[in-house]
Structure 1
């Protein structure tokens, strides 16, 4: 068995690379992916040189260290600084949007039409809004919008009640 492994070192390194790739899929830290890259490089060297184990191990270590310290930090930085990471969600965009009262809105009940959808609504500040009155979203509370008759201040995301 040892003779076969020495004769087919490229295949052993390839199996190691695949196993490290599987571990990477489970951890998602990019560490084992870099080690897998080192194993792939060692597999290539083994296939070209025909089985110089010391050279293969040196290539594995060199490539893995290079990938770990030169490539991995850049990849992690790009993943963490991905565009759109700080983008507003749909509910974050709603405050300040106009809506039409469909059913009288009080502090406890009401319905409004907002961007073509019907939302449960509550009146902010204890007021009451009648049917067909235009109101503005003050904030979103779960699946309910809190509305007011005053448009939001452009300087801030919510109106203070």
Structure 2
């Protein structure tokens, strides 16, 4: 019964602080409670608590933190414009031109100098160089 109370008690700071270590200790306490329910003595219960808690800390914690640090791949700024589709506003060739990209007018240049794109045509932004979009 005490191990279950300890598991619940460790769950409270987990909810408040969102630190996964408390969950690992709570799982260890739950394993010790299961050991007690099977009729083991105090020493085996404590050893199960320590073994399960340490195992979770050593093996699961690094994986959990790596996943938390990774986060979603959110592209912003110029990186978000690369790969976007734009509409040609003024003829775009190897020398220059204008496109409408995400509601804004941008200067543009064809990535391949021999390519020409006429107004109304859709193009893909390959790269942004300064304030000029290179398109195909």
TM-score class, shorter? 0.5 to 0.7
- Give the TM-score taking structure 2 as reference length: 0.60
Unaligned runs of 5+ residues in structure 2 are 90-97, 112-124
**TM-superposed deviation, 1:69:** 0.8
Counterparts of 2:110 and 2:4, CA distance in 1? 61
Structure 2 CA distance, aligned partners of 1:39 and 1:12?
Answer: 9
Superposition map of 1:2-151 within 5 A: 11-49=1-39, 52-81=41-70, 85-88=72-75, 93-94=80-81, 97-98=85-86, 135-137=99-101, 146-150=104-108
| Distance in structure 2 (CA, Å) of the matches to 1:42 and 1:27 | 24
| Structure 1 pair 71–24 and aligned structure 2 pair: CA distance change class (3 A) | same
Give the CA deviation at 1:158. Answer: 5.3
Structure 1 stretches of 5 or more lacking a match?
Answer: 1-10, 102-133
Deviation at 1:28? 2.0
Q: CA deviation at 1:65?
A: 0.8
Seen in structure 2, the aligned counterparts of structure 1 residues 87 and 60 have a Cα distance that, compared at 3 Å, is same
Deviations 1:90-109 (A, max 9, x none): 996456643699xxxxxxxx
Scaled by the length of structure 1, the TM-score of the pair is 0.52
Q: Deviation per CA, 1:16-50: give whole Å up to 9, x if none.
A: 11221221122223111111111011100111116
Q: Aligned partners of 2:66 and 2:34: how far apart in 1?
A: 29
Structure 1 residues 147 and 38 mapped into 2: Cα distance closer, same or farther (>3 Å)? same
Provide the C-alpha distance between the structure 1 equivalents of 2:110 and 2:46, rounded to a whole number of angstroms: 65
Return the alpha-carbon distance in structure 1 between the equivalents of residues 88 and 78 of structure 2. 17
State the SS of the aligned residue for 1:150. strand
Runs ≥4 residues deviating over 4 A: 89-92, 94-97, 151-155
147-156 or 33-42: bigger deviation? 147-156
Give the Å deviation of 1:56: 1.3
Q: CA RMSD in A?
A: 3.3
Report the count of equivalent residues.
Answer: 110
